[in-house]
Each structure stands twice: as C-alpha cells, then as structure tokens.
Amino acid sequence: MRALVQRVSEASVEVEGRIVGETGPGLLVLVCAMQDDDATAADKLAARVAKLRIFQDDRGKMNRSLLDVSGGALVVSQFTLAADTRTGNRPGFSAAAAPEDGRRLYETFAASLRGHGVAVETGVFGADMKLRLLNDGPVTIWLDSADRA
C-alpha cells in the first residue's frame, strides 16, 4: 500500500457539498491499495503512520508521533497514488488494486489506525471528493509498504 502523509493544522473532505470527514491538528493520509496488497500490508502501513515522528518536540525537532501529540487523522482513498508516469503523458493506473480489494484494504487501514488509538475520520471510497487542508510546515511524507519488510 502507498500513503502520502501530510502534517496538517486542519483538513476536511467534502462530498456533494457536505463535509463527510475532518480533523484538527494531525495528519491527512491519502491511501492507495496496490495489486497484491493484503491486510498485513494495511496493518503495517497503519502502524508506520501512527508512529511516524514528524511532529515537533520541545526543541523544535521532528521527534514526536501522531500518538505522542494525540493528533487525529483524516484518511482518504486515492487510487492515483498508483500512477505510472514512466511513458507518455497520460498516467496509467493498472498497478492499483481492483476497486473491491481497494475498498476492503482502505477500510482495513483506517480500522487499524483506529486500533492504535488514533481518532480517524474518512472520506467516501470511490466518490468525487473535495479536500481542504492547511498543511503544517509544510511536511509531506511518502510511504510505501513495499519499502520495508
């Protein structure tokens, strides 16, 4: 699985003019399930996100995790993180998981993150969503479950 993690002061997601998820200080996590991903990949990625030390400590160093700062997370599915842009001008998305698998793994990821004690809100899988965020830093980190055993 892939995740693009953004440290935010606030973030919200809107579907058809209605806010369906929001968070205050914490993380906006854009998530994409890839072909051959499984629940283990979702759980490992959720643990990495919960423990990723990208919040400042008392000395101004990025040394605290989402758990340490009691921050929330807004988790939004985004299959475009699977984009293959190596050839041509139009990205390909064939590496993304099939929609039914993507939905299951997205939900597994969000549930696993909740299981770590994080307050999680979500977007609507497969919907046309509008995101608003106030990026804090800015701090944006790319994570891929395939990068770590």
If one counts every other C-beta atom within 10 angstroms of the C-beta of residue 80, the result is: 12
Active site residue 6: no
Residue tagged active-site, from 79, 108, 109, 122: 79
CA 43 and chain centroid, separation: 13
**Catalytic entry in 23, 78, 108, 122:** 78
To the query of whether residue 79 is one of the catalytic residues in this protein, the response is yes
122 in catalytic set: no
Q: Which residues pair with 32 in a beta bridge?
A: 2
Q: Are 97 and 34 in contact (CB under 8 A)?
A: yes
**Amino acid letter, 14:** E
Query: From CA 73, how far away is CA 50, in angstroms rounded?
Result: 9
Task: Find the catalytic residue in 35, 40, 80, 140.
Answer: 80
- Active site residues per annotation: 78-80
